[in-house]
Amino acid sequence: MNCTFRKRLGASALALTLAMSLVLPAAAASSTLSAERQAADSAAVEAAQKYGLADSISYALWDEGKLSYTAVLGGDKTPTNSIPTFASTSRDLYGIGSISKIYTTVAVMKLVEAGKINLDSPVTAYLKNFKMADSRYTKITVRMLLNHSSGLAGTSLGNAFLFDDDDQQATTDLLQRLSTQKLKADPGAFSAYCNDGFTLAELIVEAVSGKDFMDYVRAEILSPLGLKSTFAPQDSFSKSLLAPTYASAGDSRELPTETLGIVGAGGLYATASDLASFGGALTGTSLLSAKSTTAMAAPEYDRGIWPDEPLGLVSFGLGWDAVEFAPFAQNGIQCLVKGGDTLRYHAALLVLPEYNMAAAVVSAGGVSVYNELAAAQLLISALKEKGVEVDETAPTLPTATVSAMPQSLVKESGYYGITSQQVQITVSTDGKLLLRQMTLAGVPDQTLTYYSDGSFRDESNAVAVKLVKESNGYTYLYQQNYTPLPGLGILPTSDYLMVKMPENSVSSETQATWDALLTMNAVPLAEKYTSQLYLALSDSSQTAAMQQGAQYVPGYVGGYRIASPTELVYDLPIGRDANNMTVKGNFLWIGNAPYLMDSGLKNLFTGTGAAYSTIQSDGYARWYTVGEKDAGKTMTVTLPENAGFYVYDAKGSVVASSFLWDDGSVKLPEGGLVAFMGDAGARFHLSFAN
Same domain, 585 and 629: no
Same domain, 594 and 678: no
Judge whether 586 lies within some domain.
Answer: yes
> Rounded to whole angstroms, how far apart are CA atoms 171 and 201?
11
Judge whether 16 lies within some domain.
Answer: no
Answer with the one of 500, 527, 543 that is the final residue of a domain. Answer: 500
Q: What is the pLDDT of residue 293?
A: 98
When mean pLDDT is compared across 71-85, 243-257, 618-632, the lowest value belongs to: 71-85
The amino acid sitting at 348 is: A
> Rounded to whole angstroms, how far apart are CA atoms 87 and 264?
32
> Rounded to whole angstroms, how far apart are CA atoms 155 and 101?
14
Instruction: Tell me the pLDDT band of 8, cut-offs 50, 70 and 90.
Output: very low
The amino acid sitting at 630 is: D
End-to-end CA gap in the chain: 34
Same domain, 529 and 589: yes
Closest among 323, 231, 227, 225 to 281, alpha carbons compared = 225
pTM comes to 0.93
Q: What is the pLDDT of residue 39?
A: 75
Question: Quick one: which H or E segment has residue 537?
Answer: helix 533-546
Answer with the one of 465, 500, 535 that is the final residue of a domain. Answer: 500
CB neighbours of residue 440 within 10 Å: 13
Q: What is the tally of structural domains in the chain?
A: 3
Same domain, 590 and 673: no
Strands 593-597 and 522-524: antiparallel
In whole angstroms, how far apart are CA 380 and each of 96, 277, 387?
A: 23, 18, 11
Q: What is the pLDDT of residue 359?
A: 97
The residues, any chain, with a CB within 8 Å of residue 245's CB and separated by 6 or more, are 55, 254, 255, 258, 344, 345, 364, 365
Instruction: Tell me the pLDDT band of 549, cut-offs 50, 70 and 90.
Output: low
Whether the predicted pLDDT of 20 surpasses 50: no
Judge whether 97 lies within some domain.
Answer: no
How many residues does the structure list for the chain? 690
Whether the predicted pLDDT of 121 surpasses 70: yes
Judge whether 72 lies within some domain.
Answer: no
Judge whether 95 lies within some domain.
Answer: no
Handedness of CA 170, 175, 180, 186 (dihedral sign): positive
Instruction: Tell me the pLDDT band of 76, cut-offs 50, 70 and 90.
Output: low
468 forms beta bridges with 476
When mean pLDDT is compared across 49-58, 182-191, 422-431, 510-519, the lowest value belongs to: 49-58
Instruction: Tell me the pLDDT band of 609, cut-offs 50, 70 and 90.
Output: confident
Share of the chain above pLDDT 90, in %: 80
> Rounded to whole angstroms, how far apart are CA atoms 652 and 621?
17
> Rounded to whole angstroms, how far apart are CA atoms 72 and 517?
48
Share of the chain above pLDDT 70, in %: 91
Whether the predicted pLDDT of 80 surpasses 60: no
Closest among 271, 276, 277 to 345, alpha carbons compared = 271
CB neighbours of residue 689 within 10 Å: 11
> Rounded to whole angstroms, how far apart are CA atoms 214 and 197?
18
How would you classify residue 558: left for phi > 0, otherwise alpha for psi between -120 and 50, otherwise beta?
Answer: left
Mean pLDDT calculated for residue range 268-282: 97
Question: Quick one: which H or E segment has residue 414?
Answer: strand 414-417
Judge whether 332 lies within some domain.
Answer: no
Residue 632 sits in a domain whose CATH number is 2.60.120.380
Whether the predicted pLDDT of 466 surpasses 90: yes
Secondary-structure percent of the chain, ordered helix, strand, coil, rounded to 5 = 25, 30, 45
Q: What is the pLDDT of residue 45?
A: 80
Instruction: Tell me the pLDDT band of 48, cut-offs 50, 70 and 90.
Output: confident
Same domain, 544 and 571: yes
Q: What is the pLDDT of residue 157?
A: 74
Same domain, 570 and 496: no
Judge whether 78 lies within some domain.
Answer: no
If you ran DSSP here, which 8-state letter would residue 124 be given?
G
Same domain, 569 and 582: yes
Handedness of CA 526, 528, 532, 537 (dihedral sign): positive
Same domain, 414 and 496: yes
Residue 476 lies in domain: 407-500
When mean pLDDT is compared across 10-24, 264-278, 656-670, the lowest value belongs to: 10-24
Closest among 587, 523, 518, 591 to 553, alpha carbons compared = 518
Judge whether 160 lies within some domain.
Answer: no
Residue 416 C-beta-side C-alpha neighbours within 13 Å: 26
Whether the predicted pLDDT of 253 surpasses 80: yes
Closest among 350, 336, 338 to 293, alpha carbons compared = 336
pLDDT tens figures, 626-685:
999 999 999 999 999 999 999 999 999 999 999 999 999 999 999 999 999 999 999 999
> Rounded to whole angstroms, how far apart are CA atoms 262 and 230?
16
596 by DSSP, 3-state: which? strand
Q: What is the 3-state secondary structure (H, E, C) of 240-276?
A: HHECCCECCCCCCCECCCEEECCHHHHHCEEEHHHHH
How would you classify residue 321: left for phi > 0, otherwise alpha for psi between -120 and 50, otherwise beta?
Answer: alpha
Question: Quick one: which H or E segment has residue 661?
Answer: helix 658-661
pLDDT tens figures, 557-586:
999 999 999 999 999 999 999 899 999 999
Same domain, 659 and 592: no
Same domain, 534 and 472: no
65 by DSSP, 3-state: which? coil
> Rounded to whole angstroms, how far apart are CA atoms 229 and 225?
11
Whether the predicted pLDDT of 316 surpasses 90: yes
pLDDT tens figures, 398-445:
999 999 999 999 999 999 999 989 999 999 999 999 999 998 878 899
Answer with the one of 478, 500, 522 that is the final residue of a domain. Answer: 500
Same domain, 475 and 543: no
315 by DSSP, 3-state: which? strand
